[in-house]
């Protein structure tokens, strides 16, 4: 199954993001739960507003643990974290 995590930042988190980025990325790369897609959500002017992830996992709780234990969440960068099951309908009958 696939799941998305849609995480929006608290206001004024740019410096906090830079401070915690290395540990955030290292954890993503070392995790047995691999993100198929991962990256920042940005505004039209390039300001980072949050994070987006697409995971392949057996269940939503595994994804929830991965995201809630992320250094960005632990540091209070994310204001909201939403996780949903994702069904890719492109190319399906």
Q: What CATH number is associated with residue 56?
A: 3.30.70.1060
On whether residue 91 sits in a domain, the answer given is no
Domain that holds residue 56: 2-86
The beta-strand segments (E) located in 43-87 are 48-56, 78-86
Give 75's contacts (C-beta < 8 A, 6+ positions apart): 16, 19, 20
Confirm if 93 and 17 have CB atoms less than 8 A apart. no
Angstrom distance (rounded) from CA 58 to CA 69 = 18
On whether residue 11 sits in a domain, the answer given is yes
On whether residue 25 sits in a domain, the answer given is yes
On whether residue 67 sits in a domain, the answer given is yes
Provide the pLDDT confidence category of residue 92 given band limits of 50, 70 and 90: low
The number of distinct structural domains making up the chain is 1
Averaged pLDDT of the chain: 95
Residue 90: predicted pLDDT:
86
Over residues 42-86, the pLDDT tens digits come to 999 999 999 999 999 999 999 999 999 999 999 999 999 999 999
On whether residue 71 sits in a domain, the answer given is yes
Confirm if 87 and 27 have CB atoms less than 8 A apart. no
Structure tokens at 22: 């290395």
């Amino acid at each position: 199954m696939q799941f998305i995590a849609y995480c929006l930042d608290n206001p004024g988190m740019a410096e906090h993001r830079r401070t915690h980025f290395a540990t955030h990325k290292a954890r993503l790369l070392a995790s047995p739960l691999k993100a198929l897609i991962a990256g920042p959500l940005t505004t039209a002017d390039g300001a980072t507003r949050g994070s987006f992830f697409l995971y392949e996992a057996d269940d939503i709780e595994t994804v929830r643990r991965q995201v809630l234990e992320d250094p960005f969440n632990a540091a209070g960068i994310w204001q909201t974290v939403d996780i949903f099951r994702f069904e890719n309908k492109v190319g399906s009958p």
